[in-house]
Every structure is written in structure tokens, then in C-alpha cells.
Chains A and B, each alone.
Chain A
Amino acid sequence: MNFIELFQQYAPSFIDALGLTVRLTIVSLVFASILGIVFGMFKVSSNKILNFIATIYIDIIRGTPLLVQVFIMYFGVAGSILQPMGMNWNDFGGGFTAGVVALSLNAGAYMAEIVRGGIESVDRGQMEAARSLGLTYGKAMRKVILPQAIRTMLPSIINQFIISLKDTSLISAIGLRELTFNSKIISANESADVMSIYLIAAVYYLVICTILSKVANVLERRMSYGK
């Protein structure tokens, strides 16, 4: 069979798998964004304890491979925490939840660094001007600093979104039938066309990543002001 025929034959299965990849990505990125903002704020805070907590979190995540984090979350947590309590991952939504937790924690750490960098890129005078008007630290952050920081952060955030999307392929290792694992299962039956099957997966990844970066370009243009 040629590539096109294979593509058509396995389209339903790949579209299901794509759905799972996209769900994993979206849910993880929502949590990662929240983690990123919280720990990014911790990082720029003058409170030494919050600062320390954020530093530890970021260092641990950045210093270990995502695949190991996924295994710790799935096999490690199941064996050492859930099992002694008479439970397993299926009581919490199965591998999907484990995968989302691992991906969120991972992307959250990188997002925190992006948020820190964005906030620090805003001139100090902006915070001073906002505070001198009587705004609290929190209000000055929300109304003055973050709206400006987001512009600097946007390219890096989108970059991280694309990385996280591709990182979902590692979730195949805990048996979730997303794009990569789907290809692996199909190629077991189509041993003559392994190349084509993985190329099909690559095409799906390429298409959604390209869409994502185009959307990013539009957003970036919309967010420029008065220039």
C-alpha cells in the first residue's frame, strides 16, 4: 500500500489518537500556565521562602528527564502511595491523569522561568510609578507589570506550548493511545510500512504545531500598541 492509502485507511484511528494528544496538551497547559504564573511570581518575590520553594521546584524539574518524571508519577506514585492505600491510578482517571500531572509539573517549571523573565524585562520605573500612585503590589502587578510582561513572554510561551505538545509523545510509554503509541500499535500489524505509519504521525504533529505557531504570530501582531 502506498502512503496515501495507508493515510486514508488509518485516518479514523489517527484522528482518535490526535484527539487524545490535543486533550492531553490542552489540559496540561492550563495547569502549567497556572503553575507558571504562581511560581514565576514566587521567583520575583522579595519573600525568601517563596523564592526558595520556586527555585527548588524549577531545579528539580529542569534537572530530570520528562520520561523519568512520567514514570515516577505513573509507576512510582501507584506503587508507593496509591497501592498502600488500596487504590490505583484507575481510581483517579487512569494514565491520563498521571500523564497530565507529569506534563503540567514539567511545563509549569519552564513557564515559571518564562514568567520570571517577562516580569524582570519590564522597567523598574513601571512598578515605582504604579506604587507611587497608591496601587498595592498585587494591583500594580496585574494592571501594569503583567500586561507588559506578557508581550515579551508570548513567543517563549508559544514555544513552550509547542514543546509540550510534542512531549505528549512520551506519554505513550505509559500506554495511552495518543499519536505516537497509536503508530506503534498499527506498525505492529503493518510491518512492511513502518516508515509510512510513523511519517503519518509526523504529519499530524507537524500540522497542529504549524497551526499553533501561526495563531501565535497573529496574537503577537495584535498585541503591539502605539508603535
Chain B
Amino acid sequence: MESKVKVRGLIKSFGSLEVLKGMDVEVADGEVVCLIGPSGSGKSTFLRCLNRLESITGGDVEIDGFNITDKETDINKVRENIGMVFQHFNLFPHKTVIENIMMAPVELKKMTTEEAKTTGLSLLQEVGLSDKADVYPAQLSGGQKQRVAIARALAMHPDIMLFDEPTSALDPEMVGEVLNVMKQLAKNGMTMVVVTHEMGFAREVADRIIFMDGGYIVEQGTPEEVLAHPKEERTINFLNQVL
């Protein structure tokens, strides 16, 4: 199967601190990959390297066949095809929900205002927030904000979705509504890379789980292999703490 993401020997340093110490990852079309591991293990940094929100220190990252470590590559064009959802939602507070969703498609001339509005409203329906189109983010709950953030990312019709701990900032009772939207997305065949602490979600939805620690991939495999029958000492210790 065609690879959507190809990472070879990815190294990321902040000053003298090496956070990623040579990562090799491939993600196939339509695959859902969950990254788990203790905090500080480099999961989020790895995810942020995939759309170059973090500058890349070494190695190669190829997205949809474009090498984003190459200076010649127009990163803005590649980013149009990579949706990203953040832990703290990062909705634009000065714009209404529908304006949040419409902004990128209209600004980047992918759609006319009318098309963007139609797309936006149907995406809001998909995430169950049709009635919130004209309110400002400040009036939404955390779970609603995150669902709007997902709709905003989807409005650009991305091939790949990146999720950076999408439920970590939510009250427990709102986690489910966001995970349900993500499950639906996975079912529809979206290629997804998800940094998460939700082991239940990972077990149910992921095609593959990658356990990271100290800037390396310690172990990876199907949810069954990694969560139920971990081979590595560090994976076992981590799972004992979180499960």
C-alpha cells in the first residue's frame, strides 16, 4: 500500500537537548497510528515535525511524496493537506465557529465563500454542532471547541490528520464526544496519527500502536501485540502505570 508518511532517521534537538534520536516511521494510506508513551518521550515533538511546526534537525520526512525537509518544498502547500488538532483547541476567538472553519479554505482560495460555508455547515453537522455556527468559541464547552477544531481542520479536505493529545485538556465527561468524532473519521478511511493517553481509544481504533520513550520507538505493533502482550520491559512498566 502507498505510504502517506515516510520518516527516516528523524532527529530533533532543542539546543543541546536531543529529543528525537533517530525515528523511522511509515504510515500507510488510511492507517490509524496511535503514539503512546510517558510525558517527555518525544511523542508531541514527533507529531509536530510531521508538518514542520518544529524545525527538523536531521533525517527526512516525506508527506504525500513531498520531502518537507527539503528547502525547495513549499511547506504551506503541504500543510494544506495535513490537518492538525491541538490539545488546547486553538480556535480563533475573534471569529465565530463558522468563520473559524471557513477562513483557511477561503483565504487559500480553495473555495468560494459560499462553497466554504456549505462545506462548513455540513462538517458542523457531522460533528453534531449545526446549531453553533454563529456563536463565538468563548461560548462553547471544551468538547464542543475540540469538535469545531476538528471540523476546521477537515474543511481543507486533508489527506492526513494529526491529533496532539486532543482530549487531554477536556473534562472527563466530554472526552467521549470528541473520541466518537475521531472514531467516525477513522471508519471513513482517514489517515491519522494520534498522540494520546486514551488507551481504550487506542485499543479500539488504532491499526498500529507505537510506544515511545526517551526519543526512540521502543516497541510497535497491533493494539493486541503492544497493549496485551508487550515484549519490552519499559512498555510493561508504562502500561502498568496507566492501565
Contacts and interface: CB of A to CB of B under 8 A. Distances in A.
Interface of A: 123, 125-126, 128-136, 139, 143-144, 147-148, 151, 225-227
Contact of A225 (B77, B93, B104, B107): B93
Interface of B: 51, 53, 76-77, 79-80, 82-84, 86, 88, 90-94, 96, 103-104, 107-108, 135-139, 149, 152-153, 156
B137 A226 contact: yes
Contacts, number: 69
Chain A interface helix/strand/loop/mixed: helix
Nearest to B139: A226
A134 B76 contact: yes
B86 A125 contact: yes
A133 B90 contact: no
B138 A131 contact: no
A123 B77 CA distance: 24
A129 B90 contact: yes
Contact of B86 (A128, A136, A225, A227): A128
B77 A129 contact: no
Contact of B92 (A129, A132, A134, A227): A129
A133 B79 contact: yes
8 contacts: A125-B90, A129-B84, A131-B79, A134-B80, A135-B107, A226-B93, A226-B139, A227-B136
Given A133-B153, A143-B103, A128 B94 contact: no
Contacts of B92: 126, 129-130, 144, 148
